[in-house]
């Protein structure tokens, strides 16, 4: 057992002891029947003109995987772009990377989300409620939310003074994952606070294949385990709040640390000699990455009375990412670094953010919100190789939102926002590369062009975004929504100035300093019916972009050693269209049938081909049996073949998968436990995930996987 688990297990044992000695006094009370007419999720969905999904504690428990993005991927329209079995980044309706905004405690998560091999540094154990907004959310969250937003929030504190908490354990068979988390909280009058520590340790993950083929080279997979895909994760968080009268305050600090190996056959040049089994499936060798994400945030809110309130959110983040790989000279005259020669690259990103909002709710039929957001970023680099340059980024935005409710069944909402940003990117030249190219006989212009590892850029961007939507409840249980929005996104530092080899993607990526911001129009509509055990929802959408930025294969071979083809960031006219449909019905008292399907159609209108990273159509059918304390589910998941691909992108065959799951509330002695069991990919099907980071290496998805999640909550009232 690794030392990181010792404090987790100690607190776990202590909590079991406390829970066993002092039964929950609330359980001894007999309560009269209470009719619950609405839920938090329904309220959020009805107030937003955009399609919204809410992952409550029940959903997060049922689909818990230790990876928040993979948990949310059970929602229609949400996909997980996986990096091995440990880390993922979200994709909403075909959009990912810097087009999806993720916020936690009111502060937007800022890391290295531009790269396909960079995951989301969020503790899955600590997510208590998640709101997913599909569609243009730039109005609320800024330019990086043109594809949608994921909002992670805390549950409200208990109404009574008490000590509360939970202990949780998780495990996976596919990579021998062992995870644990403990949370301890207290609510006393106007104060409440909680502290959490989580850890995960996983080994090389198993795949249903003995060999893989990469660039026509066949590579062995010894023991059907991908060598060097093990990793560890250790997270700590503190959250404290105060509420008295018209004033409330919240403070949060968290630190997420992740270390994971890269499959040696997919980093740099494939080499079968590096894939020999070393007998230890849990060690992490070269190449590997480490990430440490520190986040501090604060929210202050005051209600002045007469329908007026103000709020202020402030945050600081430090994202420190390193990638380590055995030093190898890309060109003969490249010197070996004197210090840390295997430290390939370092990204050190500092982010400061501030957001202020004024809410007006008078007269009663109107609600207005005025807001101001500002953010400053500074990125520093180190290592013997890099792709993303040093830069400074400053953005500021002003917004006005209005909602009008002329009747109880109609809400009209809209708003406008103006954002302005400045990107100052430092130039960097490589004299060793220039000398190498000159020795190989390349002309002066070629050597001069290639020596620029990052271009000097100092540009200002500004644009308007806005939306207009309506929510109509014509009769009980029926809901109609429509929203049209104009959104835009500032180009990132990689899109403007990168010029070099991206090892993880095995290609030369080149930015363009002349790119303008992304901009487009997006239309979303939805219909939902929910009443008496029957639910139906249909959510079509269409978006057209006048300047959509993507990596385009140039057809030119890079002169950089081991770089392959040059891919250039290019702006094109693009179309996104599709939708989601879901339905469910209760029958025979204890049974429920759920079905959902989704489809995304993307098109590069300039070249009349699909865009890269377009998710395939898929559907799910589930049969659920619900007992008093037990829930059992059988699911069939169908994934269509993805043949509509971009140039030089491999098509992916379809797959049919079967899953089983069960949740149960179990009482063991005086301890109440919440248990979830899952058996994924029951038939051990070998299939590919079109959005997986390892898809290009023809590595199939993990095979049969048994998962267990146990949570023991407790609480004890205090005076």
> Strand pairing partners for 405?
none
- Residues found in the chain: 719
Chain segment 302-321, per-residue pLDDT in tens: 998 778 999 999 999 999 99
DSSP element (H, E) containing 247: strand 247-261
502: Cβ contacts below 8 Å, ≥ 6 apart: 115, 387, 508, 509
Sequence-ordered strand ranges (E) for 492-626: 499-502, 507-510, 518-531, 534-557, 565-587, 591-604, 618-626
Is the separation of the CB atoms in 555 and 531 below 8 Å?
no
Q: What is the pLDDT of residue 38?
A: 52
Sign of the alpha-carbon dihedral angle for 252, 253, 259, 262:
positive
Q: If you average pLDDT over residues 623-627, what whole number do you get?
A: 96
What's the 3-state SS for 77-112?
Answer: CEEEEEECCCEEEEEECCECHHHEEEEECCEECCCC
H or E element at residue 305: strand 288-305
Phi, then psi, of 485 in degrees rounded to 5? -140, 150
Kindly report which listed range (11-20, 83-92, 663-672) carries the lowest average pLDDT score: 11-20
pLDDT at 29: 32
The reported pLDDT for the residue numbered 664 is 96
Structure-block tokens of residue 470 = 């309506």
Given phi > 0 = left and psi -120 to 50 = alpha, else beta, which region is 306? left
pLDDT of residue 668: 76
Does residue 360 surpass a pLDDT of 70? Answer: yes
| Coil/strand/helix, residue 144 | helix
- What are the φ/ψ torsions at residue 456 (nearest 5 degrees)? -75, 125
Asked if the model's pLDDT at residue 20 lies above 50, the reply is: no
Q: Is the pLDDT of residue 7 over 60?
A: no
- Tell me the pLDDT of the chain averaged across its residues: 87
What's the confidence (pLDDT) of residue 166?
95
Give, as one character, the DSSP assignment of residue 29. Answer: -
Beta-carbon contacts of residue 3 (< 8 Å; ≥ 6 apart): none
Q: What is the DSSP letter of 618?
A: E
CB-based contact 67:205 (threshold 8 Å): no
- Tens of pLDDT, residues 200-227: 999 998 989 888 877 677 888 888 888 8
SS (H, E, C) 494-519: HHHHEEEEEHHHCEEEECCCCCCCEE
Q: pLDDT tens-digit profile of 162-177?
A: 999 999 999 999 999 9
pLDDT digits (tens, 9 = 90+) for 118-151: 888 999 999 999 999 998 888 888 888 989 999 9
pLDDT of 221-250, one tens digit each?
888 888 888 999 999 999 999 999 999 999
Residue 99, pLDDT > 80, answer yes
**Strand stretches in 203-246, DSSP E:** 211-214, 217-220, 231-244
Separation in Å, CA 169 to CA 195, 198, 673: 17, 10, 11
- Percent of the chain at pLDDT > 90 equals 58
Question: Percent of the chain scored above 70 by pLDDT?
Answer: 90
Which residues are CB-contacts of 590 (< 8 A; sequence separation ≥ 6)? Answer: 625, 626, 627
> Which pLDDT band holds residue 420 (cuts at 50, 70, 90)?
very high
pLDDT-based confidence at residue 11 (cuts at 50, 70, 90): very low
pLDDT digits (tens, 9 = 90+) for 454-481: 888 999 999 999 999 999 988 878 999 9
Structural domains present in the chain: 3-29+42-717 (2.40.170.20)
* pLDDT at position 658 over 80: yes
Q: How confident is the model at residue 504 (pLDDT cuts 50, 70, 90)?
A: low
> Exposed e or buried b for every residue in 229-249, given b needs 16+ CB within 10 A?
bbbbbbbbbebbbebeeeebb
Cβ-proximal residues to 446 (8 Å cutoff; 6+ apart), any chain = 437, 559
Give per-residue pLDDT as tens, 595-618: 999 999 999 999 999 998 899 999
Specify the pLDDT at position 678: 96
């Amino acid at each position: 057992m690794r030392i990181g688990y010792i404090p987790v297990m100690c607190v776990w044992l202590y909590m079991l002891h406390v829970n066993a000695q002092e039964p929950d006094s609330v359980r001894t009370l007999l309560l009269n029947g209470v009719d619950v007419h609405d839920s938090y999720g329904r309220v959020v969905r009805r107030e937003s003109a955009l399609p919204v999904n809410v992952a409550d504690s029940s959903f997060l428990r049922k689909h818990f995987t230790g990876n928040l993005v993979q948990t949310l991927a059970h929602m229609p329209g949400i996909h997980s772009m996986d990096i091995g079995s440990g880390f993922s980044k979200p994709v909403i309706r075909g959009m990912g990377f810097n087009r999806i905004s993720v916020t936690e405690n009111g502060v937007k998560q800022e890391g290295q989300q531009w790269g396909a091999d960079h995951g989301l540094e969020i503790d899955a154990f600590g997510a208590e409620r998640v709101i997913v907004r599909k569609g243009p959310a730039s109005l609320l969250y800024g330019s990086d939310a043109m594809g949608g937003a994921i909002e992670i929030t805390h549950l409200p504190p208990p109404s009574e003074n008490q000590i509360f908490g939970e202990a949780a354990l998780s495990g996976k068979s596919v990579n021998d994952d062992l995870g644990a988390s403990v949370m301890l909280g207290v609510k006393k009058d106007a104060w409440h606070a909680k502290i959490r520590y989580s850890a995960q340790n996983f080994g090389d993950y198993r795949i249903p294949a003995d060999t893989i083929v990469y660039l026509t080279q066949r590579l062995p997979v010894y023991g059907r385990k991908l060598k060097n895909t093990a990793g560890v994760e250790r997270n700590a968080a503190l959250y404290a709040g105060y509420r008295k009268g018209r004033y409330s305050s919240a403070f949060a600090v968290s630190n997420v640390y992740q270390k994971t190996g890269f499959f040696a056959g997919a980093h740099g040049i494939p080499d079968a000699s590096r894939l020999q089994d070393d007998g230890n499936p849990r060690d992490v060798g070269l190449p590997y990455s480490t990430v440490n994400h520190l986040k501090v945030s604060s929210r202050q809110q005051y209600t002045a009375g007469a329908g007026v309130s103000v709020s202020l959110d402030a945050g600081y983040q430090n994202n420190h990412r390193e990638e380590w790989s055995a030093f190898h000279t890309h060109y003969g005259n490249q010197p070996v670094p004197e210090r840390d020669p295997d430290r390939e690259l370092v990204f050190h990103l500092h982010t400061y953010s501030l957001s202020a909002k004024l809410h007006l709710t008078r007269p009663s039929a109107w609600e207005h919100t005025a807001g101001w957001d500002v953010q400053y970023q500074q990125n520093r680099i180190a290592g013997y190789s890099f792709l993303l340059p040093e830069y400074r980024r400053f953005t500021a935005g002003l917004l006005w939102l209005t909602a009008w409710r002329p009747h109880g069944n109609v809400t009209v909402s809209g708003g406008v926002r103006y954002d302005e940003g400045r990107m100052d990117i430092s130039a960097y030249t490589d004299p060793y590369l220039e000398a190498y190219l000159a020795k190989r006989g390349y002309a002066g212009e070629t050597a001069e062009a290639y020596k620029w590892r990052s271009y000097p850029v100092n540009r200002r961007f500004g644009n308007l975004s806005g939306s207009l939507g309506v929510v109509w409840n014509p009769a009980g249980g029926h809901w109609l929504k429509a929203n049209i929005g104009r959104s835009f996104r500032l180009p990132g530092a990689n899109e403007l100035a990168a010029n070099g080899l991206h090892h993880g993607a095995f290609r030369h990526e080149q930015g363009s300093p002349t790119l303008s911001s992304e901009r487009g129009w997006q239309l979303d509509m939805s219909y939902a019916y929910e009443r008496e055990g029957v639910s139906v929802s249909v959510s079509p959408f269409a978006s057209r972009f006048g300047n959509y930025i993507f990596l385009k294969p140039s057809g030119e071979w890079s002169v950089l050693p081991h770089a392959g083809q040059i891919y250039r960031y290019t702006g094109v006219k693009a179309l996104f269209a599709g939708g989601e449909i879901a339905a469910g019905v209760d029958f025979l008292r204890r049974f429920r049938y759920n079905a959902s399907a989704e489809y995304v159609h993307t098109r590069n209108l300039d070249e009349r081909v699909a865009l890269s990273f377009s998710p395939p159509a898929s559907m799910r059918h589930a049969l659920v049996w619900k007992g008093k304390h037990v829930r059992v589910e059988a699911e069939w998941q169908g994934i269509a073949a993805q043949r509509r691909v971009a140039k030089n992108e491999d098509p992916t065959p379809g797959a049919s998968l079967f899953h089983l799951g069960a949740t149960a509330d179990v009482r063991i002695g005086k301890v109440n436990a919440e248990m979830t069991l899952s058996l994924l990919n029951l038939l051990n099907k070998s299939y590919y995930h079109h959005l997986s980071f390892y898809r290009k290496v023809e590595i199939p998805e993990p095979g049969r996987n048994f998962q267990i999640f146990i949570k023991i909550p407790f609480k004890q009232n205090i005076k």
